[in-house]
Structure 1
Amino acid sequence: MLIFVKKTGNLKTISSTHNSLVKQLIQLKDKSRERRKSGLFVLEGMRELQLAVSAGYEIQSIWFDPEIIALDQLMELTKVQNSEHYIQITKEVYQKLAYRQTTEGVIALVKSINHNLDQLTLSENPLILVAEAPEKPGNIGALLRTADAAKLDAVIIANPKTDLYNPNIIRSSVGCLFTNSVATASTEEVIEFLKAKGIQIHTAALTASVNYSTVDYNNPSAIVVGTEATGLSNKWLDNSDQNIIIPMQGEIDSMNVSVSAAIIIFEAKRQRGF
């Protein structure tokens, strides 16, 4: 990726919204295809950047509006000390790039990492969340926040419908994409992985189900949730150790997937003494 900027001392500066790299960042922000092709993504916000740095992500460049945050303060907060990583931008450029206007004047270009199943490191008694084919970035972000709150071993997205570095996922997860161990794979691959690891599969489903609170989650367990519209595919139901359900007293028969997952996850944590 080429960078055409001018330098003020040792600091790169971009003042034009027509700069070629500004256009490239907009492409990365807006198009999953560009993120996959380049292996790069854009994130906004100090908290998100700090979490990405702590997780060991490789930071390509950090763009900042000096009217909002000073370089020395930014260096102190991010622990990224090499000034070559920083690009100073004008208010106009920041507003052109920013997805939201409350991100502390900080935007970063970051290298993505591998999210294959074989990259997961699990404890001896893992508790895992699996979500099949979630489409809404907001739901994925909420699932990641729940997983972080419960300190799960991993989150696995089966048959993903969007890439993990969608800006809406990063935003809605408030950076929890970087605090969780996350993998993506096909449903078949995830089932094979769980069975090979001896992990019990508990699927949230309406049929042949028992009350979620009556199930023992003290052994290695995966809690599997599907979409609100279609639920889980038959492959999950055919390979489930136990279908589970959250009893409801109202007129509808489903809840938001992130709410359902949270209820079951924290019952599992309660049983485990946490």
Structure 2
Amino acid sequence: MHSSKHISSLHNPLIKKVLLLKEKSRERKKTGLFVLEGMRELQIANRTNYEIDTIFYCANILNDVQNNRFLKSFNPEKLISVSNEVYKKLAYRDTTEGVLAIVKSKDHFVSSLKFSHKSPLVLIAEAPEKPGNIGALLRTADAANLDAVLIANPKTDLYNPNIIRSSVGCVFSRNIKMGSTTEIVSYLKKEGFQVYCAALSASKEYTTVDFKGPTAIVVGTENSGLSDEWLQNSTQNIIIPMEGEIDSMNVSVSAAILIFEAKRQRKLNI
């Protein structure tokens, strides 16, 4: 594999740029760029039309023939080889495949949301903060092939390396939009969605409601739940009955239970 450049110094300005993008959300937002690590993530991002700016690879780690062939499909000007020392400084994971990239982020405005059929099923998460939870929600959305994931009042940068890692690339493959709760509620009303909020008050068991029409399943944080604005605009609050001593589950687990009940009902309706 031929690249136009090799970097072996940790003081190289481009390496400093990568570190800044990896560590600072403000820099990612300012430049519209983020850092991606891993061959599977790079392949998914490339397949879903993300613009790949630069690819860094460590030849001593990248030894798979198929992976080498994939990198050769890029313009050689985008490829930069780096030394082991530089790669270890850049790498976020303990185990890695020798590939990182600078990638251009996409816009995620709610106003651009479109669906390919009349009864979409979407997941809405209000103010999720933990990157691991967001990644798990995206993996669930991918497993269920949801039509969209909407993040209301986002607290965390979508291209945070922890989200990319925990989502295993689903952050690139899913239809994700972000906006304020007010914006999203307004969109759902305009499009005629049934809004089912996971909440304790005035709730019905989740198996007793009809998820077959245009449906939004809304989950909040484990600590504070959903805001009043969601509860006031809910078609019906729903609850997962608890048989133990605690009254809550991890948000990604709760979302998965609700989503797959909706999928079950929709299969019966075919």
Query: Which of the five TM-score ranges fits, normalised by the shorter chain?
Result: over 0.9
Residues 128 and 220 in structure 2, CA contact (< 8 A), matched pair in contact too:
yes
Query: What amino acid is aligned across from residue 129 of structure 2 in structure 1?
Result: E
Which residue in 1 is equivalent to 2:181? 187
Structure-2-length-normalised TM-score: 0.95
1:147/1:197 CA distance change after superposition, 3 Å: same
Deviation at 1:120, TM superposition (A): 2.0
Task: Give the Cα–Cα distance (whole angstroms) in 2 for the partners of residues 73 and 228 of structure 1.
Answer: 43
Instruction: For residue 68 of structure 1, report the CA deviation from its aligned partner.
Output: 1.3
Question: Is 1:196 aligned to 2:190, yes or no?
Answer: yes
Instruction: Flag structure 2 segments of 5+ consecutive residues without an equivalent.
Output: none
Shift of 1:9: 7.3
From 12, 15, 18, the counterpart of 1:25: 18
Q: Percent identity?
A: 62
Aligned partner of 1:50 in structure 2 is 43
State the SS of the aligned residue for 1:67: coil
How far residue 130 of structure 1 moved from its aligned partner, in angstroms, is 0.1
Secondary structure of 1:177's partner?
helix
Query: In structure 2, how many angstroms separate the alpha carbons of the residues matched to 1:201 and 1:179?
Result: 24
**Counterpart for residue 262 of structure 1:** 256
Alignment of 1:240-251 (within 5 A): 240-251=234-245
Can you list the C-alpha shifts for 1:145-174, whole angstroms capped at 9, x where unaligned?
Answer: 000000000000000001100000000000
Equivalent position amino acid for 1:52 in 2: A
3-state SS of 2:267 partner = coil
Q: Spell out, residue by residue over 1:21-70, the C-alpha distance to the aligned partner (whole angstroms, 9 max, x if none).
A: 11111110011000000000001000100000011000001100000115
Alignment counterpart, residue 154 of structure 2, candidates 160, 168, 181? 160
Counterpart amino acid of residue 49 in structure 1: L
* Partner Cα distance (1:178, 1:94) in 2: 23
Change (3 A) 1:152 1:10: closer
How far does residue 96 in structure 1 lie from its aligned partner after superposition? 0.2
Question: Aligned partners of 1:22, 1:108: CA distance in 2, in Å?
Answer: 11
CA contact (8 A) 1:49 1:78 kept: no
Task: Map Cα deviations across residues 67-119 of structure 1 (whole Å, 9 max, x no partner).
Answer: 01159744523573311110000000000000113220000000000000122
When residues 75 and 50 of structure 1 are mapped into structure 2, their CA distance, relative to the original with a 3 A threshold, is same
Question: Secondary structure of the equivalent of 1:195?
Answer: helix
Gap regions ≥5 residues in structure 1? 1-7
- Report the counterpart of residue 85 of structure 1 in structure 2: 78
* Partner in structure 2 of residue 145 of structure 1: 139
**Which moved further from structure 2: 50-59 or 9-18?**
9-18
| 1:135 maps onto 2:129 in alignment | yes
Matched residues, number: 267
Q: 1:218 aligns with which of 207, 212, 219?
A: 212
Q: Does 1:125 align with 2:113?
A: no
1:113 has 2:96 as partner: no
Q: Distance in 2 between matches of 1:211 and 1:10?
A: 58
Alpha-carbon separation, structure 2, partners of 1:20 and 1:10: 18
Give the letter for the 1:140 counterpart: I
Instruction: Assess, with a 3 A threshold, how the Cα gap between structure 1 residues 149 and 79 changes in structure 2: closer, same or farther.
Output: farther
Deviation at 1:225, TM superposition (A): 0.1
Residue 4 of structure 1 is matched in structure 2 by none
- What code does the residue aligned with 2:219 have? V
| Residue type at the aligned position of 1:56 | N
CA distance in 2, matches of 1:103, 1:209: 45
Tell me which residue corresponds to 1:13: 6
Query: Could you tell me how far apart the structure 2 residues matched to 1:87 and 1:185 are?
Result: 36
Matched, 1:253 2:247: yes
Of 205-214 and 70-79, more deviation after overlay is shown by 70-79
Q: What's 1:170 paired with?
A: 164
